[in-house]
Structure 1
């Protein structure tokens, strides 16, 4: 039995492959940093505008605080992902538009959630401080997620409009 191995003497990569790969890796790192900073800002915006010290309540294991915080972070992630997705294809412009869209989205999200909580008369402070599960926390979580998706879609529509006009 004879085995024949074909020798590959030359693997051709397109010109500039290495530099394109390096630029791509750099862009991923920069967008990851922008995303992380926006997530932190989003968390502190939720923490600052929610009655009680949300971060301390989460560390204490208060189930309703965990539910509200997790839904708030997911809603912020929707906004940030869409802000990055619809940013400019130019790296510098893309980073700037991601930051601007992300910040506007975070502000819109926080204002909308707080307004809905005020209109519905939910006592979020009392709910998140409960040591046992409170069904109202699911309502607050649903509001966070729903408004996060709405803001994200608004960013996508605006981003698509801007892209079409450039």
Structure 2
């Protein structure tokens, strides 16, 4: 049995692979920006605290990255089917989502009066880290849905 491919199969495949790579680059750039936004707005140097194995810093950083991923995935998913427009929309929606996420989490931390610095710098597990982590994930989902 012979399978016939369309005349445009090769070019469609190449265009699809190119789109995947470009969206992956946009997603990676947004994840870096998201991490540095969390790091910049959180007391202490998160990457150093995580490398030191401080449990609360790991929990809060991981939840922050997960929340950023929700926002970025939905920004990409909601983008236009036109590649150039889709990439631009993904980048813009992703950046706005990251800003909204960071502001919302910091406001929630202010309202709950959690001392984030002492929480993330503690060598012992602090239950408050789950409150901050939950805020990251919950607000990341809210912002992601707002994008869609």
Structure 2 residue aligned with 1:84:
76
Match of 2:126, SS state, is: coil
Alignment of 1:67 onto 2:49: no
Question: Cα RMSD (Å) of the superposition?
Answer: 0.6
Alignment of 1:127 onto 2:119: yes
The CA deviation at 1:11 is: 2.6
Structure 2 residue aligned with 1:53:
45
Equivalent pairs, count = 148
1:25-44 equivalence runs, <5 A:
25-44=17-36
Q: 1:97 aligns with which of 89, 94, 98?
A: 89
**For residues 53 and 131 of structure 1, what CA distance do their matches in structure 2 show?**
15
TM-score (norm 1): 0.88
TM-score (norm 2): 0.99
- Of structures 1 and 2, the larger Rg is shown by 1
The CA deviation at 1:58 is: 0.3
Structure 1 residue aligned with 2:8:
16
Ranges in structure 2 where 5+ consecutive residues have no aligned partner: none
Q: Which has the higher contact order (CA 8 A, sep 6+)?
A: 2
Ranges in structure 1 where 5+ consecutive residues have no aligned partner: 1-7, 157-166
Match of 1:122, SS state, is: coil
Structure 2 residue aligned with 1:139:
131
Once superposed, which parts of structure 1, at least 4 consecutive aligned residues long, lie more than 3 Å away? none
